[in-house]
């Protein structure tokens, strides 16, 4: 059984209210935008995601990022997991990402995490994204028990949970 209903259609563009930003599924072609976003915020991202995902490594190359984005693009097409890029209106910069994944740990039916680049920390754009994500998940995704990693449960507490069956 899939973690999503067979007839589920994932959103392809989600405006972030009160901003000129939007979310859309990330693609391999976004590597030239993603790599500087990730590596420019790498130290903070490692503090958040490193213990759980071992990402982003200090030595990640542009090519490794491209391969990672190709994997994400294929997973999105297969509805295995989803990575949405946070983009400016013209799609000239990736400013963060939202991950929507099947549960790795017991107690939820979807696990959601997100980040913004260092330049947007504590900004109106970050607050708008923080407000949007739970509302968007509730409105457009078929989860009954979503878990917001690093938000409603700390990463450390999440790692301590038993693995999902």
Of the pLDDT bands very low, low, confident and very high (cuts 50, 70, 90), residue 165 is confident
> 126-165: buried (b, 16+ CB within 10 Å) or exposed (e) per residue?
bebbeebbeebbeeebebeebbbbbeebebeebeeeeeee
Residue 112's φ and ψ, nearest 5 degrees, are -125, 135
**3, 76, 132, 147 from 108: Cα distances, Å:** 11, 20, 20, 6
Confirm if 160 and 151 have CB atoms less than 8 A apart: no
Confirm if 129 and 20 have CB atoms less than 8 A apart: no
Query: Given 3.40.630.30, 3.40.605.10, 1.20.1640.10, 3.40.50.300, which CATH number is that of 23-158?
Result: 3.40.630.30
Average pLDDT of the residues in 125-149: 98
Q: Where are the domains of the chain?
A: 23-158
Average per-residue pLDDT for the chain: 97
pLDDT in tens, 154-164: 999 999 999 99
H-run or E-run covering 22: strand 22-25
Check pLDDT > 60 for residue 91.
yes
Q: What is the pTM of this model?
A: 0.97
How many percent of the chain have pLDDT more than 70?
99
Question: 99: which strand partners?
Answer: 83, 113
How many percent of the chain have pLDDT more than 90?
98
Average pLDDT of the residues in 59-82: 97
pLDDT in tens, 1-42: 579 999 999 999 999 999 999 999 999 999 999 999 999 999
What is the per-residue pLDDT for 45? 98
Per the document, the length of the chain is 165
Start-to-end Cα distance in the chain = 12
């Amino acid at each position: 059984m899939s973690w999503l209903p067979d007839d589920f259609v994932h959103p392809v563009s989600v405006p972030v209210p009160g901003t000129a930003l939007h979310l859309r599924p990330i693609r391999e072609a976004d590597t030239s935008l993603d790599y500087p976003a990730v590596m420019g915020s790498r130290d903070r991202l490692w503090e958040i995601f490193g213990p759980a995902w071992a990402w982003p490594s200090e030595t990640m190359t542009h090519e490794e990022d491209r391969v990672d984005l190709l994997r994400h693009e294929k997973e999105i097409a297969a509805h295995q997991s989803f990575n949405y890029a946070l983009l400016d209106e013209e799609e000239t910069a990736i400013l963060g990402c939202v991950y929507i994944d099947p549960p790795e740990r017991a107690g939820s039916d979807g696990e959601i995490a997100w980040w913004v680049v260092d330049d947007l920390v504590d900004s109106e754009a970050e607050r708008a994204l923080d407000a949007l994500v739970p509302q968007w998940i509730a409105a457009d995704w078929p989860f009954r028990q979503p878990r917001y990693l690093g938000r409603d449960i700390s990463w450390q507490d999440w790692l301590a949970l038993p693995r999902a069956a």
